[in-house]
């Protein structure tokens, strides 16, 4: 059972435009959410996170929105740059236990110059 879902395997966006990556989750115990970016042959790197007490968190060009009632979060990248081309993973964790991350399957973003 996939608790974190990224239904779009790929996305192409023109440079300078907005990229919107979506993520849905099913476990209501998740209270902390993260986005990681992964380039080929490298490990994932942390991008941005959000706690369930917030509905928005911004860091430069990156904003994460959380809609708890819909169990949905999204990552907005504005403006998109060619260097943003990578696979983006959504992850979630529960308040209790080991804080392990449950990852989605990833969305491959391609920013076209």
Residues that bind another protein (CB under 8 A): 4, 6, 32, 34, 36, 41-46, 49, 51, 89, 91, 95, 97-106
Q: To the nearest whole angstrom, how small is the minimum distance from the Cβ of residue 89 to another protein?
A: 6
Task: Report the residue number, 83 or 99, with the smaller CB distance to another protein.
Answer: 99
Q: What is the DSSP string of the chain?
A: --SEE---SEEEEETTS-EEEEEEE--TTEEEEEEEEE-TTS--EEEEEEETT-SEEEETTEEEEEETTTTEEEEEESS--GGG-EEEEEEEEESSTT---EE---EEEEEE-
Q: In this structure, are residues 57 and 48 in contact, taking their beta carbons and an 8 Å threshold?
A: yes
Q: To the nearest whole angstrom, how small is the minimum distance from the Cβ of residue 46 to another protein?
A: 4
Q: To the nearest whole angstrom, how small is the minimum distance from the Cβ of residue 55 to another protein?
A: 17
Task: Report the residue number, 12 or 45, with the smaller CB distance to another protein.
Answer: 45
Task: Report the residue number, 28 or 46, with the smaller CB distance to another protein.
Answer: 46
Q: To the nearest whole angstrom, how small is the minimum distance from the Cβ of residue 78 to another protein?
A: 23
Task: Report the residue number, 13 or 90, with the smaller CB distance to another protein.
Answer: 90
């Amino acid at each position: 059972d996939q608790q974190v879902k990224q239904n779009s395997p790929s996305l192409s966006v023109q440079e300078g435009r907005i990229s919107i990556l979506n993520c849905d989750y099913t476990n209501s115990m998740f209270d902390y959410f993260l986005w990681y970016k992964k380039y080929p042959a490298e490990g994932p790197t942390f991008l941005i996170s959000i706690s369930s007490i917030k509905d928005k968190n911004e860091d430069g060009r990156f904003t994460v929105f959380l809609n708890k009632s819909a169990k949905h979060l999204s990552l907005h990248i504005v403006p998109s740059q060619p260097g943003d081309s990578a696979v983006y993973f959504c992850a979630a964790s529960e308040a209790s236990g080991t804080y392990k991350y449950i990852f989605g399957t990833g969305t491959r973003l391609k920013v076209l110059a």
